[in-house]
Structure 1
Amino acid sequence: MNMAWFKARGPLLDLEQIQRRDRLSSPAPLDDCPLEQQRLVVLDLETSGLDTRRDVVLSIGAVVIDQGAIDLGEQFERTLRRPDQELSESVLIHGIAPSELASGCEPAEALLDFMEFVGDSPILAFHAGFDQRMLARALKTSLGYKLRHPFMDVAEIAPMLCPDNRPSRNGLDDWTRHFRLQVLQRHHASADALVTAEIALILFSRARRQGVNSMKALNLRLANWRKRQQARLM
């Protein structure tokens, strides 16, 4: 039978990439591990825009929180190769030059590197829903991989734990100023991941003082908080 018409579904990967993808760690469940012992990956993405169905990931920045501190020995940064990316308002904001996109890391390799960096750890981000959707689509498109890791949103955790002492707006810049943190560079994936991690550590300290001692407990507290917020809108 002539099978010349047949085209395999999914992204085109070489054998080594397929093997690396298949060896990626399954996410660990959120459990009762104390917050000060939990390994967490704090993620920030720079993208070509804010449309999660059409825009693409341009760069990935991440840092690790482990043993109650930011582990500066564990940092991740990749610019993805997007040679055909057109200049847009978002590109002008984060300042990734076309030459950087043209010489960046092949997307499948960058995403494999990142998921190996993550391991089985939960992921934190600021406005995590956006990063989660963008990362999930990138992984599916470039690797045929389904993202299952739990994401926690620092933009939700902050107002929940600081209901009576919070900025009037809920952006990353607002909480950065609120906690008087210094930021050397904004709209840069690694720098934004670092300041998000600093905010998270402040919030974890407050969580422990409020009797929330694990990611499992924090997730349960968030679920109840969301229900109360929704009830107020009804």
Structure 2
Amino acid sequence: MRYWLRRQMPGFLPPEGRWRHLGEPYHGDEVVVLDCETSVFDKRKGELLSVAAVVVKGQEILLSQALDLTVNSNAKTDENAVRVHYLRREDRSAGVSAAEAVEKVLDFVGNRPICGFYIEYDRAILNRYIKRLYNFKLPNRFIEVSEIYVSQKRRYIPEVQLDLTFEGLAKDLQVPVIERHTAIGDVISTALMYIKLTQFER
């Protein structure tokens, strides 16, 4: 039903050909946790520098199957961004092309739900590349970890003041912050947050 509704929206571009399966309903129990690092902190202009993803199945993170890619990009990188993710131009020289990274992400994710912290940013970055390369946008269901967190907290204490930073959620959920602002480190910490939150719901 959700996919049918999306298809009725103006401007919706369904995946075709090789990527047609991305638009099919997902009936499994896996979620892909994903994170991107970019040249500037602007979803309209940021160039993809690295992307990582892991699969969460139940209460398990399938680390042996993790995706962790650096993009060989000549994009001018904002100084503030470099201070955060440390991806200088020379650090990216051995990476894959942006087109190859996007292709690998699509193959990895499939039609599974995509989860993250401020996932709308990652969604916008990837969609910009996917639209340019394949003329569609990700049709997957997206899950925002901080929204689950807020919903659970305010269910019991509606007026509670919440620290919605990445570090704030990690501290409250007693999750380790692993290699902060590396794509792979952030997805592992986010995956642990997601497991804690969904375990609490159950």
TM-score scaled by length of structure 1: 0.71
Return the letter of the residue paired with 2:143. M
Aligned to 1:203: 197
Aligned pairs for 1:36-185 (under 5 A) are 38-163=29-154, 164=156, 168-185=162-179
Aligned to 1:29: 25
Offset of 1:190 from its aligned partner? 0.5
Q: How far apart are the structure 2 equivalents of 1:175 and 1:137?
A: 29
Aligned to 1:191: 185
Offset of 1:152 from its aligned partner? 1.0
Structure 1 residue runs without a partner (length 5+): 1-20, 209-234
- What's the RMSD between the two structures over aligned residues? 2.1
**In terms of Rg, which structure is larger?**
1
Structure 2 residue runs without a partner (length 5+): 1-15
- Structure 2 contact 50–69 (Cα < 8 Å) conserved: yes
Aligned to 1:18: none
Aligned residue pair count: 183
Q: How far apart are the structure 1 equivalents of 2:94 and 2:135?
A: 24
Return the letter of the residue paired with 1:128. I
Q: How far apart are the structure 2 equivalents of 1:126 and 1:174?
A: 12
Change (3 A) 1:56 1:84: closer
Return the letter of the residue paired with 1:51. D
Offset of 1:50 from its aligned partner? 2.0
Q: Percent identity?
A: 27
